Structure 1
Amino acid sequence: MKDDVSKVGIFMPTTAVVRAVAAGKNIISSISVRDRLIKSCIANDIKRIIVIVRAAEIKPPHIDHANEKTAIVEYIDETAQISINEREDTVYLEDGFLIHPALLRDFLHSNAKILKDPASGKNIFARGNLTGQGRIYSATESFAADPSHFIEINNDNIREARSKLFKWLGKETDGYISKVLNRPLSTFFSRFFADYPIHPAYFTAVTALIALLMTYVLLFGGEPGILWGCVLFHVASVVDGIDGEIARSKFQASLKGAKIDTTIDMITNILFMAAMSYALWNIYGNEYLILGIYVVVLALLGILLMTSLLYFGPGGGRFDILSQTIRLRFTHKPRLLKIFNFCNYFLKRDAFAFIFAVYGVTGLARYIPEFLIFGLVIWNLAIILNAPSILRAKPVTSEI
């Protein structure tokens, strides 16, 4: 998410006021637009949400949840006076807008006082009051958001809004193959399953089952098993995105879920490397046994290093912190950053899983161990060189 307002974190409200409108009742992937706005507030550590509704829509106060965080939600009659302590930092939100998951966060961390919808002129977010639409704000007071990161909901654009929501669910750390191939495939399934009360953990389990099937065909499938094992490794990489997409779309992201997901990913990788090494040794001879030992040892060393750094450093469950740390180091070195981003595309799991699937289909699987050794050596060196920076990283409090 990019904007033209500097983010200095000077305004972190504890209270949000949402002015309800009829469009907020529309359901997108099993959650209403209004509840999505409420959960966005909760995910950004806002502890009290006041929803202004008609008298007939008033509900008792309740505790709502989003991404392992909680807040009290109160419903107030639109004719009643809102009771807010003058010392409370408050943000006002207009109901009926579907927003990018990072939009409210970026607004709250900026100096801006207003986010307007250029099409309707409505104040989507405001620090102060949602009324007074005619006020003119300076460039530093207006939040310069990408217009594609929010959409006003009506009865005719529900389908478009749903499509936007799942396009927003990709991650900044996604590799090239993930962006152009894996995400379109995984979101096709995520859009379907998000309409049902299925917990993301079930899809993590599906990834694990695919990993076991992959291991079986590599160990016992002979030469055809190598082909299908490579293909299943890529399938596991695609399916691996579904649990996270559903979790983010339904505000069910958690540190525990991220750790389990990363653990399954690493086990899948190790199983592929070990089973592939066995299959190649069984077919092509002892040379591949030695290569396989190198591959597995390097992989286990890298996993041990990353797990230790996360444990003694920022916590969390994502190994993506390595690439994030390197990008941060190269922030003011654009050429090095471009080189790193290009190389990183081919060292991420989505890329090498796709490459190995191509190797398997084209009969070149015997070259996979050399590719793995090269990539694992670079990975381990990168971990060692960036270990101090990872240990100094800020603690992870949420995993989205």
Structure 2
Amino acid sequence: MPSSYHSCEQIPALLVLEDGRSFRGVSFGARGETFGEAVFSTGMSGYQETLTDPSYHRQVVVATAPHIGNTGWNDEDDESGRIWVAGYVVRDLSRVRSNWRSNRSLDQALREQGVVGIAELDTRALTRHLRERGAMRVGISTEDLDVDRLLAKVLASPQMAGANLVADVTVHQAEVTPAVGEKRFTVAAIDLGIKDMTPTRMSERGIEVHLLPADVGIDQVREVAPDGVFFSNGPGDPAAADDAVALLQQVLDADLPYFGICFGNQIFGRALGFGTYKLKYGHRGINQPVKDLTTNKVEVTAHNHGFAVDAPLQGGTDTKWGEARVSHVNLNDDVVEGLELRAADGELRGFSVQYHPEAAAGPHDAAYLFDRFVAMMDAHRTARSTQEGDA
């Protein structure tokens, strides 16, 4: 079969899963070897946003859509400063890119950033295998095409369970995204692997966003004088992120309104006293149905997570900061998709969701959550002003 990969060269590549299942295909992107956790994403579009999402750090992403790369690569849609996936697996890599903003191909973008890809293999069979056996370690190689040797390397690679990867993806110093138009609020955003669109969505609502490194303490958060605190998405096992949990508990002690997404939802769950666990194969894609239990509305959402919060779907749980309860649930499998915390007087003190309301590639059903954050900060500010006036 003719191919445009590497100037029409057919470079063989091998993919081996940790349970020994193997697939042979054709190399695209960079040549070499790569290892990570094999996961699949069901999105029909938005591969550029997926590949540049820091939450995919140390993961090899399998695209379930059979045809990938037709819109090429542009300089506007990156969600961070680099491609974060450890590898990319597709069935049919488009030989032609067709989009008015595209300035290079997907193949070229991966080659430039040293990311190994493999194409022309049965991604449906691979996805079914991961659904049945669960996400697992994987290796891709253009250098060693012996299954047994590559399998030995896969088994020697680190697992995702227990991995604390926040330090790999967080900013090293504070960054500020100014509010668009009149500044209404200031938010301290803790970067656990944030996507660029998140501060953008906040700034559009009059929020000045101070993006802070993950290792900041509560005193540095207070220096920003925030009206609210945000914890971002990010990679790794939330059970290993003890420092983030401790910081969030101090944020709650300081009575600062809180909003978290994805990893920030898992950290919120741990801070409130709930556990977390690893899903069999996770939720990744842009077509997950979620029900908002506070409004009874269903939204189609963008997901990327392999861990979840273990919290009761019914009733509330008492904490030192108020009552916590599940606010959103996945309609496919009843996985917890959101939490909320209310004070004794019913005031919303914090909430989080397990998906991406910023969703640059769509869908945009959940964009209202940024407005909910604004309303929470506004109500908190009003309540504090009233209390100070009464005093």
Using structure 1 for the length normalisation, give the TM-score.
0.30
Task: Give the helix-richer structure, 1 or 2.
Answer: 1
Structure exhibiting the larger radius of gyration computed from Cα positions: 1
User: TM-score, with normalisation over the residues of structure 2?
Assistant: 0.31
Structure with the higher fraction of residues in strand conformation: 2
